[in-house]
Amino acid sequence: WNVKGEGNSRATANYSKQSDAVKKAKDIAKNQNSEELTHGRDGKIRDRSSYGNDSHPPKG
């Protein structure tokens, strides 16, 4: 499982377990006040987490 920054062609890190990759991606997103997207094997977004100033926060 790869962790990539938006627009990067190369992985920042890679892991054998998806859970480890997601943890690293969330840590990076928190540090950079950005968004973390988890993609499934099919490439579709399965989950997303936003950290920092979200211009379109969820309603509710």
- Residue 12 belongs to some domain of the structure: yes
- How high is the pLDDT of residue 7? 87
- How high is the pLDDT of residue 16? 96
- Residue 55 belongs to some domain of the structure: no
* Secondary structure E strands in 1-60: 2-3, 13-14, 35-39, 45-50
The boundaries of the domain holding residue 30 are 2-50
- Residue 58 belongs to some domain of the structure: no
Neighbours of 57 (CB within 10 A): 8
Cα–Cα distance list, 54 to 13, 16, 39, 50 (Å): 25, 31, 20, 7
How does pLDDT run along the chain (60 residues), one tens digit per residue? 999 998 899 999 999 999 999 999 999 999 999 999 999 889 899 999 998 776 666 665
Q: Which residues contact 47 (CB under 8 A, 6 or more apart)?
A: 37, 38
Task: Report which DSSP code applies to 33.
Answer: T
- Residue 11 belongs to some domain of the structure: yes
Count how many domains the chain has: 1
- Residue 7 belongs to some domain of the structure: yes
Quote the pTM value: 0.78
- How high is the pLDDT of residue 60? 55
